[in-house]
Amino acid sequence: MIQRVNPHIAPPSGLLIDHLNLLVDLDRSLPVLDLACGRGRNGLLLAKHGVSVVFADRSASVLEVVGTHLSDADLSGRIWQVDLEKPGTEPLAKVSFGAIMGFCYLHRPLFPALKRAVMPGGLVIYETFTVDQGRLGRPNNPDYLLQPGELRETFQAWEIIHSFEGLRPNPERYVAQIVTRRPRP
């Protein structure tokens, strides 16, 4: 059974829990990037399972919270304060990861660099809102909502391990999910 690392953070994503074994069994030579990690709910779960995690976010205050959780639970992890959307920068250009995971975050111009930053044989686990989310409320800005089939199309050349698009419960939300492996040369 998966337990929460700290009662003051939200539980990890069900998508991550369902595919945790893929990340735990992944080549450990490179860390996993928790993209726009917020309070670190997903990366903390990986760290608890001995996976090396880089927690990336632009907010110093949420990264401080992540650092406190890591320290309190005696877990290792690297904090990376970075603005992934800053014009004229390419923060993923010279880094490599065994996997990248992103939840509730969408910045379309980042996808090509994200795909290049994953090592061959590495994984992307991604879940974010679709345009149908507008029916339920927020978020409703189309800049931050995937179009039908967009996430799957973005990774069409990769091995698709899991793909879902539609309504998820608890809390009710319209999302697209993907678990995909970068092809080896």
Helix and strand numbers, DSSP H then E, in the chain: 6, 7
Q: Please say if the pLDDT value at position 1 is more than 50.
A: no
pLDDT, tens digit (0-9, with 9 covering 90-100), for 134-185: 787 788 788 888 889 999 999 999 999 999 999 888 788 889 999 999 999 8
Query: One-letter amino acid identity for 156?
Result: Q
Distance between CA atoms of 90 and 67, rounded to whole angstroms?
Answer: 25
The residue ranking higher by pLDDT, 19 or 143, is: 19
Which residue in 56, 55, 58, 57 sits closest to 5, CA to CA? 55
Q: Report the distance separating Cα 34 and Cα 160, nearest Å.
A: 20
Mean pLDDT of 78-90: 93
As a whole-number percent, the residues of the chain with pLDDT over 70 amount to 96
Q: Please name which of 33, 177, 15 lies closest in space to residue 114, comparing C-alpha atoms.
A: 33
Please state at what angle helix 41-48 crosses helix 60-72, rounded to 10 degrees. Answer: 30
Helices (H), 60-110: 60-72
Please report which helix (H) or strand (E) contains residue 23, including its range: helix 20-24
What's the mean pLDDT when you consider all of the chain? Answer: 90
Q: Say what percent of the chain tops pLDDT 90.
A: 71
Q: pLDDT tens across 50-79, in order? A: 999 999 999 999 999 999 999 999 998 999
pLDDT at 107 over 50: yes
Note the pLDDT of residue 8.
63
pLDDT at 144: 84
**Residue 22 contacts by C-beta under 8 Å, 6 or more apart in sequence?**
123, 125, 161, 179
pTM of the model: 0.91
Contacts of 90 (CB under 8 A, 6+ apart): 113
